[in-house]
Amino acid sequence: PSILRDNEEGSESDIGEKNNQPDINWEELGFSLIPTDYMYAMKCAKGEKFSQGTLMPYGNIELSPSAGILNYGQGIFEGLKAYRTEHGRILLFRPEENALRMKIGADRLCMPSPSVEQFVDAVKQTVIANKRWVPPPGKGTLYLRPLLMGTGAALGVAPSPEYTFLIYCSPVGNYHKGGPLNLKVEDKFYRSISGSGGTGGIKSVTNYAPVYTSTTEAKANGFSDVLFLDSATGKNIEEATACNIFVVKENAIFTPAIDGAILPGITRKTIIDIAIDLGYKVMERSISVEEMMNADEVFCTGTAVVVTSVASVTYKETRAEYKTGPEMLSEKLRGILVGIQTGCLEDKKSWTVQV
Ligand code: COI
């Protein structure tokens, strides 16, 4: 039986690319859900392998009230984008990295995961079916959200008897409105436990809601986002709500090392590679709040935020301000990254995958 309800908007027999232009203003895209035509789903039982998925009209899903994802948070997600190039191609950026990261998260939460090939194929099918929702070049991207979750019913605290891999998508523009970020350092709550024993390093669904108290308060006080510290010492920076952090001092680049508590961002890894290729020294190590406050430049990276510069960081009563603008290193790195992603710059490392 399908987990999906019949959808008034269409049926599985309708599936095929719709050609008319969607009625949206591409100039006004932000990072909020715009439902598209189709989603992809594939199910498998505990102890088995995923084998065959299918596209279906985008719509609500039906879940048992005792599904593993609802009761015990057995679920992870990914985020990646499809880019329309000036020459009409559609590109994905390092999608196999998302597949590999999903597998690591799945192993940690005792779930089966799709193979890299199944993952990438499912992403491509989802993009093709929703092609009309990929924004024109320069106007935004189609954000894809793969989910892997325990959807079988169980009352006891144990791995779910059934799993669903699902991909839905939405056209998006900038994650943060209003330019460079003003970050608040959180000194009461932590995003994850320090070290390799926790789940901070996987995209567990349970890593995100615990930041809402901090972000809601910070936003009410005029900040754009919150930066979290390590739970072991409360002294070193880890990451912001939905992105990794970089610090620049005297032309050297620093970012917290991947230690099990920090999400191994694909944009993070790519920016490190681009910076090294440009001849910059990049160091992955612990960075104290104090060191960050004395930096020349600070920026964030992530699929959703791309590369976003930081204008200020506030820690307790102290506020540090940083230079921002087109001449800054973060802008140079962003330009190269986006150039490769959108097919404007040569992709020497075969990071892009054509749909
Ligand atoms: C992404 O950058 O794709 C993320 O996963 C961030 C998301 C929580 C908005």
23 touches 136 (CB < 8 A): no
137 touches 239 (CB < 8 A): no
Residue 15 pLDDT class (50, 70, 90 cuts): low
Cα angle value 9/14/20 (rounded, 5°): 75
**Per-residue pLDDT at 218:** 97
Q: Which structure tokens are listed for 290?
A: 């104090």
Q: With 80 as the cut, is the pLDDT of residue 6 above it?
A: no
* Ligand 1 proximity of 240 Cβ (cutoff 6 Å): no
Read off φ and ψ for residue 93, nearest 5 degrees.
-120, 115
* Ligand 1 proximity of 105 Cβ (cutoff 6 Å): no
* Ligand 1 proximity of 154 Cβ (cutoff 6 Å): no
Q: What is the pLDDT of residues 175-217, one digit of tens each?
A: 988 789 999 999 999 998 888 889 999 999 999 999 999 999 9
Q: Which structure tokens are listed for 257?
A: 């090392």
* Ligand 1 proximity of 304 Cβ (cutoff 6 Å): yes
The interface predicted TM-score of the complex, written ipTM, equals 0.94
1-7 long-range contacts, CB within 8 A, separation 24+: 2/56, 3/41, 3/43, 3/61, 3/62, 3/63, 3/151, 3/164, 4/41, 4/56, 4/59, 4/60, 4/61, 4/62, 5/59, 5/60, 5/61, 5/62, 7/56, 7/57, 7/58, 7/59, 7/60
Q: With 90 as the cut, is the pLDDT of residue 18 above it?
A: no
Q: With 60 as the cut, is the pLDDT of residue 12 above it?
A: no
How much distance in Å is there from the Cα of 304 to the middle of ligand 1?
5
Q: What is the pLDDT of residues 40-76, one digit of tens each?
A: 999 999 999 999 999 999 999 999 999 999 999 999 9
How much distance in Å is there from the Cα of 52 to the middle of ligand 1?
27
* CB neighbourhood size of 116 (10 A): 16
**Mind telling me the catalytic residues?**
203
Span 302-308, average pLDDT: 96
Ranges assigned E (strand) in 212-345: 225-229, 237-240, 243-249, 252-255, 281-284, 297-302, 306-315, 318-321
Residue 20 pLDDT class (50, 70, 90 cuts): confident
How much distance in Å is there from the Cα of 215 to the middle of ligand 1?
15
Q: The whole model's pTM is what?
A: 0.93
Span 105-111, average pLDDT: 97
**Per-residue pLDDT at 5:** 40
Residue whose CA is at the smallest distance from ligand 1 atom 3: 79
Phi-psi region of 341 (alpha: psi -120 to 50; beta: other; left: phi over 0): alpha
Q: How far apart are CA 218 and CA 228, in angstroms?
A: 12
**Per-residue pLDDT at 3:** 46
* CB neighbourhood size of 49 (10 A): 11
- DSSP letters spanning 133-154: GSPPTTT-EEEEEEEEEE-SB-
Q: How far apart are CA 240 and CA 208, in angstroms?
A: 11
Q: How far apart are CA 120 and CA 94, in angstroms?
A: 10
